[in-house]
Chain A
């Protein structure tokens, strides 16, 4: 190694003119600078008069209304439609045997006709449940019905509150 280089005291760095003369002022300026944020202690929002005194009763009313609505069972889910169409088809078949000699098959029944019949006749799920016994249920070939992911997603999005499923 070069001996001169090892013993040099000069770093080669420079400062701007009057840098050290102005340094105290610059430091005190920064110390005294008032932050714009310091002058703001609240966001400036207001509320209607007596707003907070009404919250409890509004929420309890909403909860009670919600509890009443949950008891109403939707007839229009696909699973219910499947059960109802099966029962309606059986009913139609029964009538057709007594009224006409022509053979009616399940395939010949129009699904829309069955849905319309169920809607107009106010058939509810308790009525349907009474028509099925355990043996018939277990024989039902659920495995044959392959549900697409898209179908499941659509059902969940239309029929439940997804946020409820996300709370831990």
Chain B
């Protein structure tokens, strides 16, 4: 852990400084976590819910954080799990699979006021939605977030080799989808 992060963790785990430190933590990471979540759940409203739930969970469990991974990796992992759980809950509500739920969300982008993408960006979202869930995560984290494989390995608890293979496969499938009619 970076020294500044160590200090932040100490303050987060101390009752008297927790609230102020937590506000600093939110300011530092809100946008990165939001965009990561958004790429999983697609809609802004769902992303807002998941982001808040993620921070609440971080706050409630900060004392359990042992420092054996980076703080950001830990938070990223919570955000990922919260986003997937949210997707699964919505799917259950509509009695459909989470894959169908994601496809539904992507198809709704054409009428979404918070989607500013062009045709190719929409097609890319549709392409990503056809991938297995893990490949979607790996692709988004590598392609859009530029995360190093080492950091992704910590977050997804998967070996770097497997992640590289996963990314390569995902990129190939997406290229094929983008060049198809």
Docked CA distance A62–B26 (Å): 14
CB < 8 Å neighbour of A63 from B56, B115, B174, B178: B56
Closest to A45 in B: B38
Interface residues of A in 26-49 (CB under 8 A from B): 35-37, 39-40, 42-48
When the two chains form their complex, are residues B115 and A59 in contact, meaning their CB atoms are under 8 A apart? no
Q: Is A79 interfacial (CB 8 A cutoff)?
A: no
Instruction: Knowing A55-B30, A56-B26, say if A40 contacts B52 (CB, 8 Å).
Output: no
List residues of B (65-115) whose CB comes within 8 Å of A's CBs: 78, 81-82, 85, 113-115
Name the segment of B117-125, B148-156, B158-166 touching the other chain: B117-125
Which residues of B120-154 are within 8 A (CB) of A? 120-122, 124-125, 140, 143-144
Contact at B117–A37, with CB atoms within 8 Å? no
Give the residue among A47, A52, A66 with the most B Cβ atoms within 10 A.
Answer: A47
Q: Please tell me if the beta carbons of B23 and A52 are within 8 angstroms of each other in the complex.
A: no
Asked whether, in the complex, the Cβ of A59 is within 8 Å of the Cβ of B55, the reply is yes
For the complex formed, measure the closest distance between the CB of A168 and the CB atoms of chain B, giving whole angstroms. 8
Give the residues in chain B near A37, CB-CB below 8 Å.
Answer: 124, 143, 171, 174-175, 178
B144:A36 contact, CB within 8 angstroms: no
| Separation of A71 and B64 alpha carbons in the complex (Å) | 22
A141 on interface, CB distance cutoff 8 Å = no
Using a CB-CB cutoff of 8 Å, which residues 26-52 of chain B contact chain A? 26-27, 30-31, 34-35, 38-39, 44, 48, 51-52
Specify which chain B residues have a CB less than 8 angstroms from the CB of A36 in the assembled complex: 120, 175, 178-179
Q: How far is the CB of B174 from chain A (nearest CB, A)?
A: 6
Interface hits, A102-123 → B, CB 8 Å: none
Q: Contact: B44 with A44, CB < 8 Å?
A: no
Taking a contact as CB atoms closer than 8 A, the residue among B31, B39, B85, B178 that contacts A43 in the complex is B39
> Known contacts A45-B38, A48-B114, A59-B26: does B61 contact A66 (CB below 8 Å)?
no
B interface residues, Cβ below 8 angstroms from A: 19, 22-23, 26-27, 30-31, 34-35, 38-39, 44, 48, 51-52, 55-57, 59-61, 64, 78, 81-82, 85, 113-118, 120-122, 124-125, 140, 143-144, 171, 174-175, 178-179
Name 19 A/B residue pairs within 8 A (Cβ), A-sorted.
Answer: A36-B179, A37-B124, A37-B171, A37-B174, A40-B120, A43-B124, A44-B116, A44-B117, A45-B38, A45-B44, A46-B114, A48-B114, A55-B30, A56-B26, A56-B27, A59-B26, A66-B56, A167-B57, A167-B61
Query: 8 closest pairs, A vs B, by CB?
Result: A44-B117, A44-B121, A36-B178, A46-B116, A59-B55, A46-B114, A56-B26, A55-B30
